[in-house]
Amino acid sequence: MLDAGYVAELAELTRPFGVTHTGVAAADVLLRARVAIEQRIADGLVDGMQFTFKNPARSTDPQRAVPDARSVFVAARPYLLPDQERPDGPVARVARYAWLDHYAPLREGLWAVARRLRADGYKAVPFADDNSIVDREVAYRAGLGWFGKNANLLLPGAGSWFVLGCVVTTAPLPVAASPVEDGCGTCRRCLDACPTGAIIAEGVIDAARCLAWVLQKPGIIPHHLREAVGDRIYGCDDCQDACPPTVRLGRRFTVDVSTREPPMAWLSVLQLLMADDAGVAQMWGRWYLAERDPRWARRNALVVLGNIGDLTVGPHIHTVRAVLADYLSHNDPVLRAHAVWAARRLGHHDLMPVSDPHPDVQRELQMP
């Protein structure tokens, strides 16, 4: 067994890449996570979401990632940035974790650890934002934090504004003595703050109601969720913004962006809706986009447009009407349906057609 001093050396390798918290878990089957995933699937709470839900036998077994693995080195990197001023005009909000690519420097830190382990004769494979392993569970087992009622991992004295990654290795690293005790107590602010009631029990999320997933999955956004989307175009921070330890303590770990590109906290709705496919792909960048199909980004933008009425008047009114007219005659019925909803919300009934050959659009037209 390697000693704690060796683990400290590994942790030090990650510091230049912004990692603030590290730990080690045993490379055993993540049984608790596997049972939870299988139960969520059985209860119909996954709503077609893949990621680590696609293959629980793989994502909850570090041995599938690295045969003969003995331990998992876990790292957490903060992603909280200073608030960004809202630009003028019709813009959409982006969840904090997506403002910058925080996984890129995290991966560099993990690779530094992997190279050291390999140089010392061990197998080592880094994972970050990867479906091969449930990173929150190994982080919990490594003693980095506890699971909040919003299912996020909360780090003591720091909150949940962190991205997680790990290195699965054959090295026999000393593991955490025990997990961190629950720090939520009777608090339920995250449950009460969720705009759609997606947190249906402590630590249990109904994916079909979670706006972070609603805005990522393909298809028509359910009518009853569109107003709740508000001005969000990618992700949702509400359950974290309501979390007392996250709000109170998280700013102790604000990321320095003085030498990096400007954070993408807001996105121009009209610019996205007027862009061609290549332009949408460029604006969306590294963010997850189902099937890499720009129609889902445009769909989200149309819902946002319908929700930000006060920002669509004045100097933008003519552009808004022109964009809506274009989408009301779009060849994609999904986009036409959402354009009907947006036009009605904004009071542009004169732009709406009397009927449409597609049943989804026709149903939208017939709604009061």
Tell me the longest C-alpha to C-alpha distance in the chain.
74
**What is the number of H-type helices and E-type strands within the chain?**
17, 11
Residues paired with 107 in a beta bridge = none
C-alpha 151: how far from its chain's center?
Answer: 13
Given 3, 47, 101, 129, the catalytic residue: 129
C-alpha 243: how far from its chain's center?
Answer: 17
Radius of gyration of the chain (CA): 22
Residue 234 and residue 300 in contact, taking contact as beta carbons nearer than 8 Å: yes
- Strand, helix or coil at 161? coil
Q: Determine the Cα–Cα distance for residues 129 and 107; give it in Å rounded to an integer.
A: 9
Q: Is 88 among the residues known to form the active site?
A: no
Q: Which residue has tokens 């590109």?
A: 261
Q: Where are the beta strands (DSSP E) in the chain?
A: 21-26, 71-78, 91-94, 124-128, 146-147, 153-154, 162-169, 199-201, 204-205, 232-234, 266-268
Active site residues: 129
